[in-house]
């Protein structure tokens, strides 16, 4: 069997590194075709030396010159490219079969879409891409016969618990509800009045998962679960009312599917992203991910509770945006990216993330989407509106 050629967009991030860890366990099956990074160029150089890709992509030309010289010195033939256009070219490169979409945020939309339009096997971690351009994205998947496999642990769990015939609709497949589990983040038990004092370090210290800073903050506000609710609606052709969120502090059940006959299927595992990554890489087969077996006796109990809307207002904002449709989800996503960045820079407090998101979502009416320019324009207008909010409040 020939080696599967894998491109990792966002190789220097948390998901990128976990992907390379799984790939390195199976040199007989996978070869790294291309790697991309953005600010951690030293790390990208080390990854290139270890995985010997055909190409590497960085953000700007000075980084490309530095990396090219460094790799040549090490005797590597890796070609170094730079810029947003190069990311799209590498994502669509006919020499690769599989693309791991693990760039964080809106920057991942165009390269991920390029991979879809090239008909690749696309491993989707970059949920923001699907949140922003859901309808266009799923239409492109169908038109270009791409294989879209979810990496987000909840969606990967749902995918594993779904019957193979969901294209006929959830009702025809006998599915009553999707149950999306959430850890509740580090502040699920904090007194509400203390949330105003949360620091970026506290928000980034997730109790169960080790992740990049943006998604860690999103988990703490539960905007992450809101983005995942939208993601689930697109991936599984569900309405927001068919997706229920359950706080499950242990993060052992990664999500569940509730069927009309009363069966509820769940996927369990240790909270380690190498499990969904290995699942999506090998599907429909299974490969070793390096994750240790789940010890249920050590876990001993599984708890569930309903999310508190007062503590986590971002979850309702996501439902509101999905109901509004059109550009609303792109607007919410962009506002949230600006808000999280401002929080990480200590320009706004933790509770202001939700306030900014609500203000921007309510100030920009949802417009219908027929092409990508409208999505990118909504993203741009939302960022401007968010910056105006920051200017008025700080
Ligand atoms: P990280 O911040 O750890 O990594 C992000 C990656 O994107 C890095 O390689 C970074 O490069 C690159 N990047 C950042 N900005 C740009 C840009 N403007 N252009 C090109 N590349 C860029 O994030 P995670 O790995 O945690 O998350 C990646 C995606 O996966 C997110 O969409 C997240 O929601 C999703 N996800 C993550 C999970 C996790 O456990 N981490 C779980 C489920 C989903 P550099 O580091 O060199 O700057
Ligand atoms: Mg998730």
Mutate to test the pocket of ligand 1, among 14, 56, 137 (most ligand atoms within 8 A of CB): 14
How big is the CA angle at 314 (ends 324 and 366), to the nearest 5 degrees?
Answer: 20
Helix then strand then coil, % of the chain, to nearest 5:
50, 15, 35
The residue to mutate among 102, 105, 106, having the most atoms of ligand 1 within 8 angstroms of its beta carbon, is: 102
Give the Cα separation of 320 and 326 in Å (integer). Answer: 12
ipTM of the complex: 0.99
Q: Are strands 4-9 and 55-58 parallel, antiparallel or unpaired?
A: unpaired
Question: Residue 266: in which H helix or E strand, if any?
Answer: strand 264-268
Residue 51 Cα to ligand 1 midpoint, Å, equals 19
Taking only the tens place, the pLDDT of each residue in 227-249 is 999 999 999 999 999 999 999 99
> Would you state the pLDDT for residue 167?
63
DSSP string, 336-348: HHHHHHHHHTTSS
pLDDT of residue 317: 98
Q: Which domains does the chain have, with CATH numbers?
A: 4-150 (3.40.50.720), 159-272+292-393 (1.10.1740.10)
CA atoms 29, 34, 36, 41: torsion sign: positive
The answer to whether 12 is a known ligand-binding residue is yes
- Closest ligand 1 atom to residue 153 Cα is 43
Ligand nearest to the CA of 154: 2
Tens digit of pLDDT for each residue in 195-231? 999 999 999 998 888 899 999 999 999 999 999 999 9
pLDDT (0 to 100) of residue 1: 62
Q: For position 258, what pLDDT does the model report?
A: 98
Low-confidence stretches of the chain (pLDDT < 50) are none
In the reported structure, the alpha carbon of residue 340 is separated from the centroid of ligand 1 by a whole-number distance in angstroms of: 14
| 42 assigned binding-site residue | no
């Amino acid at each position: 069997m020939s080696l599967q050629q894998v491109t990792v967009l966002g190789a220097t991030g948390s998901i990128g590194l976990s992907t390379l860890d799984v790939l390195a366990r199976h040199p007989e099956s996978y070869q790294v075709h291309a790697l991309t990074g953005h600010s951690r160029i030293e790390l990208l150089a080390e990854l290139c030396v270890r995985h010997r890709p055909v190409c590497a992509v960085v953000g700007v030309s000075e980084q490309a010159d530095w990396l090219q010289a460094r790799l040549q010195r090490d005797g590597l033939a890796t070609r170094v490219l730079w810029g947003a256009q190069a990311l799209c070219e590498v994502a669509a490169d006919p020499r690769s079969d599989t693309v791991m979409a693990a760039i964080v945020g809106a920057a991942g939309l165009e390269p991920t879409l390029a991979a879809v339009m090239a008909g690749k096997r696309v491993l989707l971690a970059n949920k923001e891409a699907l949140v922003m351009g859901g309808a266009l994205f799923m239409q492109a998947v169908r038109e270009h016969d791409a294989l879209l496999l979810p990496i987000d642990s909840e969606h990967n769990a749902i995918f594993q618990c779904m019957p193979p015939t969901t294209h006929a609709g959830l009702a025809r497949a006998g599915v009553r509800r999707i149950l999306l589990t959430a850890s509740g983040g580090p502040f699920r038990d904090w007194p509400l009045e203390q949330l105003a004092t949360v620091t970026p370090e506290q928000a980034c210290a997730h109790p169960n998962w080790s992740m990049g800073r943006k998604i860690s903050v999103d988990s703490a506000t539960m905007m992450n679960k809101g983005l995942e609710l939208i993601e689930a609606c697109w991936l599984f052709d569900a309405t927001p009312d068919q997706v229920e969120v359950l706080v499950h502090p242990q993060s052992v059940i990664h999500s569940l599917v509730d069927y009309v006959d009363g069966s509820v299927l769940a996927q369990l595992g240790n909270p380690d992203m190498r499990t969904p990554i290995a699942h999506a890489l090998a599907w429909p087969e299974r490969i070793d991910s390096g994750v240790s077996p789940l010890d249920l006796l050590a876990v001993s109990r599984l708890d569930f509770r309903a999310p508190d809307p007062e503590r986590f207002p971002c979850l309702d904002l996501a439902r509101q945006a999905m109901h509004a449709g059109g550009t609303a989800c792109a607007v919410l996503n962009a506002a949230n990216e600006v808000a999280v960045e401002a929080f990480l820079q200590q320009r706004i407090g933790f509770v202001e993330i939700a306030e900014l998101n609500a203000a921007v979502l309510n100030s920009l009416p949802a417009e219908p989407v027929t092409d990508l320019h409208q999505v990118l324009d909504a993203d741009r207008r939302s960022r401007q509106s968010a910056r105006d909010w920051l200017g008025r409040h700080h």
